[in-house]
Structure 1
Amino acid sequence: MTQTYNLLILPGDGIGPEVMGQVVRVIDWFRDNRGLDFRVEQDLVGGAAYDAHGKPLSDETMARAQAADAVLLGAVGGPKYDVLDFSVKPERGLLRLRKEMDLFANLRPAQCFDALADFSSLKPEIVAGLDILIVRELTSGVYFGEPRGIHADDNNPENEGGRVGINTQRYTSGEIRRVARSAFELARRRGNKVCSMEKANVMESGILWREEVQWVHDNEYPDVELSHMYADNGAMQLVRNPRQFDVIVTDNLFGDILSDAAAMLTGSLGMLPSASLGAVMANGRPKALYEPVHGSAPDIAGQGKANPIACILSFAMALRYSFDQGQAADDLEAAVQRVLAKGVRTADLMGPEGGTPVSTAGMGDEILAELSAGA
């Protein structure tokens, strides 16, 4: 019996609807040519939701997200919403999705396609063939710990200005173990190596992180190779020899920094997908939100200049991690690789050597043609 995959699409703002339009074409291709039964709903998030409902995410949309097998999001935000109160800014819709779906593991792949090796900030021979995955804990750590805030410090005469800013780095064993399990499971599908990064040399939370990751390894995943590294050394190693890594697992703060550093190894934000995963549901699939790393780029919205590849590759991640369609994901990624190898480029990928310029829809055309050629 054919499985039905329930997918909620939230195009969002700026270039979100344009790049998501190309993803919908890819979804239709897999339905028509591979018999994958996708039941697709579309709804509003971010500024588009605020314009319609006065809030960046309606309760009805949140309920649809909770019921979906996976959520695919485009981008949120734009300068027209900068004047809004913080509580209703477009980004709050995305944060609500992450929080209420309890998406604790953020997956950020850094893959350098051969045709784009010259776009990296590093030498091509350093990044050629790069394929690493950073797993960032997303719901705890210093961004959420209490106490926090800016307070008066009047009783300290040596404090010029009289204020103190406080953020608390806090992790529990359970929070660390669940994201570590995600990293080990992902490594089993890849190169079977995990490097855990923290600052156990100066932070008690880092000591706990190291001990708990080691416990999960020793008791549940002894077949996966595990190493530990201080996060500052990890940052250095990412720009020195990034291909030494397979899966990196780290906390919220370090993951935020390291994944952005790794992004520049690949050459363009327009190429970078991401996934945020939560607990496994009754149907065996994890709660999941997939989105490109790039923003809403309102300066080019509506002009057909946006690169849809990051959003298309985010759908490839959904095929792999939510729908257990690894071959379909491989085929889609291979189609993107072949298009780039032919020199087809959106504006963000046009380097000194030029290429064949295409619009957002033109890039979609090329990828669909390659899918059909490889079918």
Structure 2
Amino acid sequence: MGRFVIAVLPGDGIGPEVTAEAVRVLEAVGRRFGHTFEFHEALIGGAAIDATGSPLPPETLERCRRSDAILLGAVGGPKWDDPTAPVRPEQGLLGLRKAFDLFANLRPVRVFPALVGATPLKERVVRGVDLLFVRELTGGLYFGPRQEAGPDGEEAYDTMRYTRWEIERVVRLAARLARGRRKQLTSVDKANVLAASRLWRRVTEEVVRREFPDLALEHVLVDAFAMHLIRRPAAFDVVVTENMFGDILTDEASVLAGSMGMLPSASLGESPPGLFEPVHGSAPDIAGRNLANPIGAILSAALMLRYAFSLEAEARAVEQAVEAILEAGYRTRDIADGETCIVGTREMGEAIAQRILHCAS
């Protein structure tokens, strides 16, 4: 059937452990559906700094260019934790986003029925939550003009800067995704204070009203949305927002799913390769101990199947296997409760892979 080339960038901390399980699951998908996945590992982040002096070596960038998709683990750790250092692990990730113009970050947040008890929120609040954040990824405060000034560095500024074109393309993508779901689109901004947000709101309104009149569009201020996300998260479907707001809100949303270890993401541009990675960080305190939750990485592989390769049935097979294994009581430590079987990273990945293969028989 299909043949797909995947660049695997394990990175730092628990990155190598969780990407190994995502690869295991993709291999199971290949065996079940008759696809060939060709994996090529490369360095990024702190591991790349140690080996080459660069967080994104030219060899890694070239490997990604010759791939259909990129699977990333995590970058960073205490060893490279000086924010004033000229070379830092996160520059590798930012470099990938810039090199491939990955302007949209998709972060689905789904509460699996088996995990409604894993969140500190009430069951009636989280049951049925299935929302999709679309975060603009290459503009805003993280990429605008900045400076640390003054004789002793006592003054600094960062600039939230957006153009009509940047807003249009991410809103268009979010609207297309909303059209394939429940036809609800929520745009989050701070238009009562920020000029960039007023442009964001005006352009969003124009694009949706002109091109997607079948959608229900609402605008919500970011501070109000942060409250609504905890009080009534099931009311939302697709949420589109700018870079920094999206970064903060999706971390908040991890509480809904029970653990940040459950959340996948996809970073997409106008053309391949897309970047697929779990939302969590490198978690150096548990690295190498077979304790990390690989489900975020495994569900990122499902997003790869869906958005990079257009393999919807295969993506659903992965998601259904994850749900079945959770229903069977398998848990990593971060999502464990009373009546469950606590397993390690490798055991969770193997159980999901075997479920995919078992369902084929």
Per the normalisation by structure 1, the TM-score is 0.91
Q: Is the 8 A contact 2:168 2:207 kept in 1?
A: yes
Among 285, 292, 298, the residue aligned to 2:278: 292
1:46 paired with 2:45, answer yes
Distance 1:216 1:292 in 2: 30
Among 204, 219, 232, the residue aligned to 2:210: 219
Alignment partner, residue 81 of structure 1: 80
SS at match of 1:253: helix
Alignment partner, residue 60 of structure 2: 61
Distance 2:335 2:239 in 1: 27
Deviation of 1:354 (Å): 4.1
Deviation of 1:50 (Å): 2.0
Distance 1:173 1:35 in 2: 43
Q: Which residue identity is paired with 1:13?
A: D
Q: Which residue identity is paired with 2:86?
A: S
Deviation of 1:374 (Å): 2.2
Q: Which residue identity is paired with 1:243?
A: A
Alignment partner, residue 144 of structure 2: 145
1:8 paired with 2:7, answer yes
1:365 paired with 2:356, answer no
Q: Is the 8 A contact 2:118 2:336 kept in 1?
A: no
Distance 1:204 1:90 in 2: 32
Deviation of 1:275 (Å): 1.2
Cα distance change on mapping 1:205 and 1:19 into 2, 3 Å? same
Q: Deviations over 1:237-285 (max 9, x none)?
A: 1111111110000111211221111111111111111111111x3xxxx
Alignment partner, residue 319 of structure 1: 305
Distance 1:80 1:270 in 2: 22
Among 275, 278, 292, the residue aligned to 1:306: 292
Alignment partner, residue 34 of structure 1: 33
Distance 2:197 2:76 in 1: 34
Q: Deviations over 1:223-248 (max 9, x none)?
A: 22222111221111111111111000
Q: Is the 8 A contact 2:251 2:260 kept in 1?
A: no
Distance 1:121 1:75 in 2: 26
SS at match of 1:64: helix
Cα distance change on mapping 1:85 and 1:254 into 2, 3 Å? closer
Deviation of 1:163 (Å): 4.3
Distance 1:178 1:244 in 2: 25
User: Which stretch has the larger CA shift, 173-182 or 290-299?
Assistant: 290-299
Among 230, 236, 240, the residue aligned to 1:239: 230
Alignment partner, residue 126 of structure 2: 127
Structure 2 gaps, min length 5: none
Q: Is the 8 A contact 2:14 2:292 kept in 1?
A: yes
Q: Is the 8 A contact 2:292 2:332 kept in 1?
A: yes
Q: Which residue identity is paired with 1:201?
A: N
Alignment partner, residue 170 of structure 2: 179
Per the normalisation by structure 2, the TM-score is 0.94
1:96 paired with 2:82, answer no
Among 237, 241, 246, the residue aligned to 1:250: 241
Q: Which residue identity is paired with 2:74?
A: A
Distance 2:155 2:350 in 1: 55
Alignment partner, residue 157 of structure 1: none
Bigger radius of gyration: 1
Deviation of 1:94 (Å): 1.3
Distance 1:256 1:292 in 2: 13
For the aligned residue pairs, the C-alpha RMSD in angstroms reads 1.9
Deviation of 1:97 (Å): 0.8
Alignment partner, residue 207 of structure 1: 198
Distance 2:153 2:264 in 1: 44
Q: How does 1:151-190 map to 2 (within 5 A)?
A: 151-152=149-150, 163-190=154-181
Deviation of 1:162 (Å): 10
Tell me the matched-pair count: 360
Alignment partner, residue 158 of structure 1: none
Q: Deviations over 1:108-148 (max 9, x none)?
A: 111111111111131111101211011111111122222x2
Distance 2:87 2:193 in 1: 38
Distance 1:354 1:347 in 2: 13
Q: Is the 8 A contact 2:24 2:350 kept in 1?
A: no
Q: Is the 8 A contact 2:29 2:356 kept in 1?
A: no
